Amino acid sequence: MEPFTRYTAIAAPLDLANVDTDQIMPARFMRRPRDERYATYGFHDQRFTPDGAKRPDFILNQPPFDAAGILVAGRNFGVGSSREAAVYALAAMGFRCVVASSFGDIFFSNALKNGLLPVKLPESAVSALRQAISASPGVTISVDLQTQILTAPDGSTHEFFVPGFARDCLLRGLDEIGLTLTLEPEITAFEARRNGG
Amino acid sequence: MGQTSSQKTLFQKIWDAHVVQARDDGLALLYVDRHYFHEGSFHAFNMLKARGLAVRRPDLSFGFGDHYAPTVSRRTDQVADPEIRGIIETFEENARANRIRAFELADPDQGIVHVAGPEQGLTLPGMTVVCGDSHTSTHGALGALAFGIGASEVAHVLATQTIWQSPPKQIRCAFEGALPAGSTAKDMALALIAQIGTGGGLGGAIEFAGSAVRALSVEARLTLCNMAIEAGARTGMVAPDRVTRAWLAGRPYAPAEADPAWDRLFSDPDASFDSEVTIDATAIRPMATWGTSPEEAVPLSGRVPRAEEAPDEARQKAWARSLDYMGLKGGEAMADVALDRVFLGSCTNARIEDLRDAAAVLRGRRIAVPMLVSPGSSRVKRAAEAEGLDRIFKEAGARWEESSCALCVSMHGETVGEGERCASTSNRNFAGRQGRGARTHLVSPASAAASAVAGRLVSAS
Ligand code: SF4
């Protein structure tokens, strides 16, 4: 995994609450192996008409938001199905960060494991961000994982929090499996303890 | 968390017994007693293969072919769509290559993972249970700590038999009083979510308690815990009791005798929760959703709300969007909402008791709109046939087919059509869940049957 330290990109507003992972990644594409086609699966049914044409009214189809790397969403983003494919689709679309006031629990951890930074801020801050980027399309937001600070287009800063272990993994580009495998003696000892009763 | 007294919640007891290593920030490496997987877990097996890692404990993983299982046949080679056939074959190959017991399509014990796992006695009180599926919360009904995980975490569990977790908020949800006749666990779940919202349990562990929960059968508890995730919770659980022990007795993988340790699996009287909610069970009526979020639910005797009645501006917008997608104006009586079809199935409501509930309503009547019945497992199907329930469904005009996730998620090759309205016993009414443009109304099995007869959204009573 590519290390995540500091990232600056155009931000797109998505002013919808409870965006579930069924919407982000429709079920019928989930049988496909992970490849570049995932970029078209993301929000597919909102981005495309049934005959495959782009819907001009969907915000992520409109320039400059179609080139955004940060998504500023509504509350409860990524609720529902545990499908990690929703994160694969967002990543394939070019997103490296999603900002929201709350996230679906499993989505939050899936995102962290795939280098998509979920940034949780109070709803007042998130809605101010959405307004700012809607008012001046193309402005950028910066996120710094080391300091856990998001910098808004107007230069104001917001602190966020990412759990320590996941942050370490992300900053160093390590995956958890490798780290956990170093605890193999502890796991074996736990198994022995339990079997011994 | 960090309780200083010796009083512990049920959750805490199970958590503490599984900590392999704890970090200062509260994150813990938990040992996993039971891992389930389904066809969708192929990403995880690919990750493992890419890294050249082996499955650490193939004996603790069990696979169930359910999401893509066709309802019309039990033969993989008869699946017409090559992509669907491919994913079922991959599932079977991954299990074989890693020496894992998989309940494949043709297996007599195949079923939806959250129906067939408990049915086999594979989920037991006090266990930690994970699966790459959000409705893993279902298994908490047996007094287990059970939660859904993502594909990277599935790979982690396969390789290490452990998972990193930060402690969730603990929520006690007590349903007090007697549930009225005609109301079910599904109605309890919908009423709860309508009250606390889909964010009400966000990230939390909900222990369902109270006299109305104690009075539920294990099957009804499974329905309730299944829907905990729709309240935003990571898991739901019910303390095991006499009812649990009786239900587990004699199941293939359950121990011959109940483990005495199960008797200690309850929340101590002074254990503290982060929050508590009490629901008056006596007031719960048969419910249905009208919108595209499980929280958008009202009693079937009520009417669809108007967007301007929403409690705040954000929800006014959300409700307007939901009404638009659902093809409703707002203000109409639920009983006037005309249906195109009905689905009785899914891990929420396709156990034998659910089928009995629906059959009791259908006996001697004819359905007005097409209805698909897909039992929760092949065992449930055989049990229903032994009782003659299949005849009742068929005589009423319904399709009686094989066990599958079927129209809950519509991955098996059939969908609800664009703009079609379906009363469904599943758990998610999200836009597009049953097919692009499909309109889903979540209901209980009895209400689904009554609605199929009426061709409109009605309750059985
Ligand atoms: S029945 Fe539906 S909710 Fe249950 S496991 Fe299958 S797809 Fe998921």
Residues 34-73 (B) with a CB less than 8 A from some CB of A: 40, 42-43, 46, 51, 53, 56, 68
> To 5 degrees, how large is the angle CA B176–CA B197–CA B460?
60
**CB-CB under 8 Å, A180 with B27:** no
pTM value surpassing 0.90: yes
Q: Which residue has the tokens 């942050």?
A: A167
Longest dimension (CA), chain A: 65
- Count of all residues that appear for chain B in the document: 461
Q: Chain A neighbours among B 197-256 (CB < 8 Å)?
A: 198-199, 202-203, 232-234
**Residues B144-155: what's their mean pLDDT?**
97
B199 vs B58, more confident: B58
In single-letter form, the type of residue at position B335 comes to A
Distance CA(B55)–CA(A86), nearest Å, equals: 25
| pLDDT for B206 beyond 90 | yes
CB B45 within 8 A of CB B272: no
Q: Rounded CA gap, A189 and B69, in Å?
A: 40
Share of chain B above pLDDT 90, in %: 95
Q: What is the mean pLDDT of residues A4-29?
A: 95
What are the distances in angstroms from CA A133 to CA A8, A74, B263, B411? 14, 14, 57, 37
Chain B residue closest in CA terms to A197: B261
Of B131, B137, B72, B58, the closest CA to residue B100 belongs to: B58
**Cβ(B268)–Cβ(B8) below 8 Å:** yes
Whole-number Å distance between alpha carbons of A103 and A161:
13
**What is the pLDDT of chain B when averaged over all its residues?**
96
Buried b (16+ CB within 10 A) or exposed e, B59-81: ebbbbbbbbbbbbeebebeebee
Among B14, B16, B19, B20, pick the best mutation site for testing chain A contact (most A Cβ within 10 A).
B20
Q: Are A18 and A79 in contact (CB under 8 A)?
A: yes
Quote the Cα angle for A97-A102-A104, to 5°. 85
User: Per-residue pLDDT tens for B367-393?
Assistant: 999 999 999 999 999 999 999 999 999
| Tokens representing residue B207 in the block | 């222990």
**B310 touches A at CB < 8 Å:** no
| Residues B300, B286: Cα–Cα separation, whole Å | 6
- The pLDDT-based confidence of B5 (bands split at 50, 70, 90) is low
> Which band of pLDDT confidence, cut at 50, 70 and 90, is reported for residue B4?
low
Chain B residue closest in CA terms to A35: B43
Return residues 396-435 of B near A (CB < 8 Å): 409-411, 418, 428, 430-433
Contact check, Cβ <8 Å, B433/A22: yes
Q: Which two tokens stand for residue A197?
A: 């009763």
Question: Which residues make Cβ contacts (< 8 Å) with residue A130, sequence separation at least 6?
Answer: A13, A14, A15, A72
Stretch A48-72: mean pLDDT, rounded? 96
Q: B419-422: long-range contacts at Cβ-Cβ below 8 A with a sequence spacing of 24 or more?
A: B419/B327, B420/B340, B420/B341, B421/B326, B421/B327, B421/B337, B421/B338, B421/B339, B421/B340, B421/B341, B422/B339, B422/B340, B422/B341, B422/B342, B422/B343
- B216's tokens: 């539920």
Give the residue-averaged pLDDT of B47-63: 97
Contacts of A82 in chain B (CB under 8 A): 132-134, 148-150
Select from A43, A75, A78, A37 the least CA-distant residue to A61.
A43
Q: Are B90 and B102 in contact (CB under 8 A)?
A: no
Paired residues of B236 in beta bridges: B206
Check residue B209 and give its pLDDT: 98
pLDDT at position B314 is 86
Index of the ligand 1 atom closest to the CA of residue B345: 1
Question: Which chain A residues contact residue B199 at CB under 8 A?
Answer: 75-76, 79, 102
CB contact under 8 A, B46 and A33: yes
Q: Encoding tokens for residue A61? A: 């189809």
CA angle B406, B409, B414 (to 5 degrees): 50
Pocket test for ligand 1, best of B347, B407, B415 (most atoms within 8 A of CB): B347
Mean pLDDT across chain A: 95
Of B291, B269, B239, B418, residue with least CA distance to A45 = B418
**Cα–Cα distance for residue pair A140/A31, rounded to 1 Å:** 35
Nearest to B430 among A23, A114, A180 (CB): A23
Which residues on chain A are in Cβ contact (under 8 Å) with B156?
A: 176-177, 180
To the nearest whole Å, the CA of B157 is away from the closest chain A CA by: 9
Omega of the bond prior to A26 within 30 degrees of 0, cis?
A: no
Q: Which CATH architecture has domain A6-194?
A: Alpha-Beta Barrel (3.20)
Q: Which of B454 and A3 is assigned the larger pLDDT?
A: B454
Query: Residue B440 pLDDT more than 50?
Result: yes
Mean pLDDT of B196-224: 95
The residue-averaged pLDDT of A31-40 equals 93
Res B280 pLDDT > 50: yes
> Could you tell me the CA-to-CA distances from B116 to B123, B240, B412, B446 in Å, in that order?
10, 19, 18, 22
| Cβ contact A187–B160 (<8 Å) | yes
pLDDT tens figures, A143-197: 999 999 999 999 999 999 999 899 999 999 888 999 999 999 999 999 999 887 5
Which residues of chain B are within 8 Å of residue A191 when distances are taken between CB atoms? 31, 161
Answer positive or negative: Cα dihedral of A51, A57, A59, A65.
positive
The rounded distance, in Å, linking the Cα atoms of B70 and B404 is: 7
Is the pLDDT at B142 greater than 70? The verdict is: yes
Q: What pLDDT score does B3 carry?
A: 46
Res. B461: pLDDT tops 90:
no
- For the cut 50, the answer to whether the pLDDT of residue B171 exceeds it is yes
Spatial CA neighbour of A162 closest among A5, A2, A1, A20:
A5
CB-based contacts of A123, cutoff 8 Å, min separation 6: A75, A101
Measure in Å the smallest separation between the Cα of A177 and chain B Cα atoms. Answer: 5
Paired tokens of A151 = 């910098």
Residues 6+ apart with CB under 8 A from B229: B134, B135, B137, B148, B235, B236, B427
User: Quick one: pLDDT at residue B198?
Assistant: 87
- Chain A nearest-CA distance from B137, in A, is 12
Measured in Å, residue B404 CA sits from the centre of ligand 1 at 9
The answer, yes or no, to whether residue B2 has pLDDT greater than 80, is no
Instruction: Name every residue whose Cβ is closer than 8 Å to that of residue A61 and which is 6 or more positions away in sequence.
Output: A47, A54, A55
B161 closest CB neighbour out of A23, A28, A187: A187
Q: Which of residues 1-30 of B touch A (CB under 8 A)?
A: 20-21, 23, 25, 27, 29
Pocket of ligand 1 contains residue B114 by CB under 6 Å: yes
Residue in the block written with tokens 């309109």: B439
- B432 vs A23: CB contact, 8 Å cut-off? yes
pLDDT of residue A2: 83
How does residue B6 score in pLDDT terms, banded at 50, 70 and 90? confident
Point out the ligand 1 atom lying closest to the alpha carbon of residue B135. 3
pLDDT attached to residue A146? 96
pLDDT, mean of residues B90-104: 97
| Candidate from B427, B428, B442 with most ligand 1 atoms within 8 A of CB, to mutate | B427
Domain ranges of chain A: 6-194
Give the CA distances from residue B14 to residues B23, B143, B145, B172, B266, in Å, rounded to whole numbers and listed in that order.
18, 9, 7, 16, 10
How many other C-beta atoms are found inside a 10 Å radius of the C-beta of residue A90? 27
Which position has the token pair 């005798």? B257
- Beta-carbon contacts of B180 under 8 Å, excluding residues fewer than 6 positions away, are B282, B284, B285
Higher pLDDT, A174 or B426: B426
